Structure 1
Amino acid sequence: MGDRTRKPWQPHTLWSKLQTQTQHGLATGALRSIDTDYEVVPDSGVAFIVRILTNLNRKAQARKVQRQKKTNPFLPYDQDLYVTDITDTHVCLLNKFNIVDHHFLIVTRGFESQLNWLTLDDFEALHHCLTDVAGLFFYNGGPAAGASQPHKHLQVIPGQSMDLPIETAIQATKFVDEMGQSPYLPYGHKIIRLAPGNNAKQWLKHYRRLLSSLDIDDPTGQWRGPQRCAYNLLGTRNWMMVVPRCQDDYLGISVNSLGFAGSLLVKNKTQMDQLKKIGPMTLLKQVAQAI
């Protein structure tokens, strides 16, 4: 595990720390990037990026070992993947099996369940990171939403000038009181606009408002303990979206939050051909709750 040296949060340094730790992780072998090829598959006005994983077995084998040993990769975390402390409650780690460079995780320092509601502490840590580094953030709320680890963690894929496939659908959304649904998306979802000056408390309020609008909020109003149903949360500095889920996969193709951003993963050419036949939007419609 190495030295448990702590790195305090310093504003405006996250990007350089991500680059430095990525080089270190690759040099030590702790960071095990997954090789992919990709194709662009247009559907309903969205140009989906569909990646074919060429060494998925490496990730599957690691997860199998974790299940057998019942290990938690975040507690303790691998020091070679540790980027920095974010707050007293959260740390920043590199995603061990990354497909996109500098993909990082926002992980609770102590164990909290991935099935629990997101809290102000979670949004404080997320706000810190996105203030420093623009990108796509996402949260897979439970196994049926693509979560592979039970320890609570948000994820961020940096992109200083990011052009997400889903932005086409976001731009087509008609907002009423800052909230709306995109006519491009044939499944249950809600999108809310974020103002540049929004703080973490406002992000938390928007998150809860999205859940309430989809009737998957906490009926007690306490927002403690486990969520009511699986969902995906994703967004940028400018918008936030929630998609309630009904299942993890369709035709053996698993979908997490990235799928709803327009980025899908298939294991082989057979799955790629299946996906092209039915269309990415049909896949998403099958794993999300109906409108």
Structure 2
Amino acid sequence: MVSKWIEAIDARSAGALTSGALQPVQAEQTEMEDGGMRFIVRWVSSLAVKDAAKAAGASQVAIPGGPRDPNFNPFLNPDPELTVGPLGDEHVVILNKFPLSERHLVLARRAFEEQLLPLARGDFAALATIMAEAGGIGLYNGGAAAGASQRHKHVQWMPPAEGNASLRLFAPGLPAGLPEQGVAQHPALPMKHCFVRVCCGEGVPVEVAADSLHAAYRLACETLDLQPGADGLLPPCNLLASDGWLLMLPRSEECFEGISMSAVCFGGTLYIRQPEQIESIRRVGPLKALAAVGY
């Protein structure tokens, strides 16, 4: 049975593609093996379009009828053509204008909060609502150094699909019998990180998943010694949640040789703007490229 959220996402996507509000996904990819794991490097041409829009002072969501304000917040009053609908009392579901895959969503807070501020249980409840019906992966970029392009707090979701990010590739290197809220490190990841076993995903009750994810997030922050600062958690960090695991990684910088690395890249699929950047990753291998932006 098709999820009601998937039906709503597809209906909104069809209209937004027709109007031009949503940029179509155009991607080419290559595979690389590193540390016994399969990585995908995907060239998404719409990312170059997104960069050009930023250079021109454009916002992520168009303001009809003229010049765009570079300080415009696309998530405060989102473009109706990209808005799927409300999610609970605190969030709204928005199509990512420059998607990395089909059905790539932004789950944004209705009221403004800084992206660097710690995630709340409500943020995980929003993710759990979508994941309970459609599985997939939850993503969070905690600040500009972690790949966030907007200050307005939001998490992201991508569906389960061939080539999309997932934590499944790490499973062989993680303890199979670890209980919920158990902590682990992966021997092939040469950067500071923390895996926590969670109960989330398709078919898991929303309240159960939200509690599990929130508890795991707090445990990971404690394990990684992420400290609250004046503007939020320091250092910035990425979070991924899928396939029974939550992964957090502190970030030291955004880019490896000009390639922006966000949370999704730590799920086994690295996204590039230009095809020649494939060789930059091939030269050192995906794991060292990812480690270069961590600790």
TM-score (structure 2 length as normaliser): 0.86
2:218 counterpart SS class: helix
- Counterpart of 1:86? 87
Structure 2: distance between partners of 1:269 and 1:138:
25
Q: Which amino acid aligns with 1:102?
A: R
1:226 shift after superposition: 1.4
**CA 1:240–1:173 in 2, change beyond 3 Å: closer, same or farther?**
same
Q: Distance in 2 between matches of 1:163 and 1:56?
A: 16
Q: Does the CA-based 8 Å contact 2:139-2:156 persist in structure 1?
A: yes
For 1:210, what is the secondary structure of its paired residue? helix
Equivalent-residue separation in structure 1 for 2:252 and 2:271 (angstroms): 19
Q: Deviations for 1:42-73, whole angstroms, at most 9, x for unmatched residues?
A: 11112111012334332112223237531111
Deviation string for 1:184-227 (max 9, x for gaps)? 211111111113553312321111001111111449xxxx9611
Equivalent-residue separation in structure 1 for 2:109 and 2:47 (angstroms): 27
Question: Helix, strand or coil: the match of 1:105?
Answer: strand
Instruction: Give the 3 Å change call, closer, same or farther, for CA 23–218 of structure 1 in structure 2.
Output: same
| Aligned counterparts, 1:74-113, within 5 A | 74-113=75-114
Which of the residues 220, 236, 240 maps onto 2:242? Answer: 236
Distance 1:96 1:57 in 2: 13
CA distance 1:269–1:30, shift in 2 (3 Å): closer
- The answer for the alignment partner of 1:49 in structure 2 is 40
3-state SS in 1 of match to 2:81: helix
The 1:162/1:266 distance shift into structure 2, 3 A limit, reads closer
Which 5+ residue runs of structure 1 have no aligned equivalent?
Answer: 1-10
Q: Could you say what secondary structure the match of 2:58 adopts? A: helix
- 1:269 is paired with a residue whose SS is coil
CA distance in 2, matches of 1:195, 1:99: 26
Q: Residues of 1 paired with 2:118 and 2:290: CA distance?
A: 23
Larger mean CA deviation between 150-159 and 265-274 belongs to 265-274
Q: Which amino acid aligns with 1:143?
A: A
Where in structure 2 are there 5+ consecutive unaligned residues? 60-68
Deviates more, 1:125-134 or 1:169-178: 169-178
Q: State the Cα distance separating 1:163 from its structure 2 match.
A: 7.3
CA contact (8 A) 1:48 1:165 kept: no
Structure 2 residue 22 is matched with structure 1 residue 31: yes
Q: 1:162 to 1:216 in 2, by over 3 A?
A: same
Q: CA deviation at 1:38?
A: 0.7
CA–CA separation in structure 2 for the residues paired with 1:88 and 1:131: 18
- Counterpart CA distance in 2 for 1:45 and 1:165 is 16
How many residue pairs get aligned? The number is 275
Distance 1:36 1:163 in 2: 12
8 Å contact kept, 2:40–2:163: no
Question: Is the contact between residue 165 and residue 264 of structure 2 (CA under 8 Å) also seen in structure 1?
Answer: no
Q: Could you state the TM-score of these two structures normalised by the residue count of structure 1?
A: 0.87
Q: Do the aligned partners of 2:31 and 2:39 also contact (CA within 8 Å) in 1?
A: yes
Is residue 184 of structure 2 the alignment partner of residue 180 of structure 1?
A: yes
| Aligned twin of 2:195 | 191
Q: Please list, as runs of the form range in 1=range in 2, the aligned pairs for 1:262-277 lying within 5 A after superposition.
A: 262-277=268-283
